[in-house]
A = this chain, B = another copy of it.
Amino acid sequence: MAAVTYELIKESKESMARLGKLHTPHGVIDTPIFMPVGTQATVKTMSPEELEEIGAGIILSNTYHLYLRPGYELVQQAGGLHKFMNWSGATLTDSGGFQVFSLGDLRKIREEGVEFRSHLDGSKHLFTPEKVMEIEMALGADIAMTFDECVSYPMDYEYTKLAMERTTRWAERCLNAHHREEQALFGIVQGGMYPDLRAISARDLISMDFPGYGIGGLSVGESKSLSYEILDATIPLMPRDKPRYLMGVGSPDFLIEGVIRGIDMFDCVLPTRIARNGTVFTSEGRLTIKNAVFKADFTPLDHHCDCYTCRNFSRAYLRHLFNTGEILGLRLTSYHNLYFLLNLMKQIREAIAADSLLTFRREFLSRYEGKEVK
């Protein structure tokens, strides 16, 4: 029996959306799901109990960051990522691919792997598919991702093809190097903005029979309509009985559009990153808490939210905390934004169950999209 299996519960009558269950060694997770990101073995500002409280069943950690600090040997020595950070839910580690490619001039790509310099101290390192598997196995998440090459946007057809083919060869090397039974290894479909390359990538990875598939290289600067086109062209080629994970996506509208196109899993630093700048999601659009208009506003962030922050604190108090640089402010907005997205995913699942997701999308977006609370 595989470490992680996907159980298809229901396919929507009105779209590609589906309900499922992801069975992992650390719990069963209802999909579609959003995974909070704990880059450095901590979801910024949050305690593990708070993550449980908001219903996070699975979180993501970054291989690149943990490799640099504290080092994967140390995490292994601690008994793995779960024990190290005291998280009893499920975990997923990315492969570091996206991070090392984002280093720009600091990295060189070869067939063997990627040589890069640490963004922290300039020290030299080499990530090969085999090395990344060694690291991810040591970290011991429930789900590991293959080492892939994510091209920047825009990128010409020739290079995108070359990178996609290398990603496929690397996926094969990852598969050969991976031998941790209690960990599932997901492949990553690449191919940039070219539907025919996406199709080749999907076909070749599917032939390797991974227990799940990431879709990488989207939300890298292209328009949303282009991302949706690529999803429309790619997802129908993917197997029904495996989970599909759209990497690096976390804006409310994109989550809904992704689910409608058949995505089961998402992750993104967006909710916690904007929270630390004082921007929150609300059912009536985004809200920037530092705005003077909230100075004496004693109502909650979101008038339709029942999260801990909204039940207990006012916009005026949160504005004060941000104006004075108080850490509690960062905690409360981070909590709210993650709750908002996890609650959105719950509403999405309920709408799929009721075959009303398209109505839900229309109603949600009419209140949210392009709006700002003022």
Q: Tell me which residues across on chain B come within 8 A of A320, comparing CB atoms.
A: 40-41, 69-70, 74, 84
0/1 interface trace, chain A 49-72, chain B, CB 8 Å (1 if under): 000000000000000010001100
In A58-109, which residues have CB < 8 Å from any B CB?
65, 69-70, 74, 77-78, 84-86
Q: Is B328 touching A45 in the complex (CB atoms < 8 A)? A: yes
**B-contact bits for A298-336, CB 8 A (1 contact / 0 none):** 100000000000001110110111011011101100000
A331 surroundings in chain B (CB, below 8 A): 45, 47, 327, 331
In Å, the complex CA distance between A65 and B308 comes to 26
Which residues from B are CB-within-8-Å of A85?
Answer: 317
Chain A 124-149 near chain B by CB (<8 Å), digits 1 or 0: 00000000000000000000000000
Asked whether, in the complex, the Cβ of A316 is within 8 Å of the Cβ of B70, the reply is yes
Q: Do B77 and A296 have beta carbons less than 8 Å apart?
A: yes
Range for the number of chain A residues in contact with chain B: 35 or more
| Option from B46, B69, B70, B319 in Cβ contact (under 8 Å) with A328 | B46
Interface flags for A31-46 (1: CB within 8 Å of B; 0: not) read: 0000000001110111
- Closest chain-B Cβ to A44's Cβ sits at a distance in Å of 6
User: Is A295's beta carbon under 8 Å from chain B?
Assistant: yes
Known contacts A316-B78, A320-B69, A40 near B326 by CB under 8 Å: yes
The answer, among B40, B70, B313, B316, for a CB contact under 8 Å with A74, is B316
**Shortest Cβ distance from residue A165 to the other chain B in the assembled complex, whole angstroms:** 36
With known contacts A84-B317, A86-B312, A317-B84, A328–B298 Cβ distance under 8 A: no
Kindly identify, within residues 163 to 181 of chain A, every residue whose CB is under 8 Å from any CB belonging to chain B. Answer: none
CB distance from A174 to the nearest CB of B (A): 27
Q: Which 6 A-B pairs have the closest CB atoms?
A: A70-B320, A45-B327, A42-B328, A40-B324, A86-B312, A42-B326
Known: A41-B320, A77-B298, A86-B313. 8 other contacts (CB 8 A): A40-B321, A70-B295, A70-B316, A74-B295, A78-B316, A78-B317, A84-B317, A327-B330
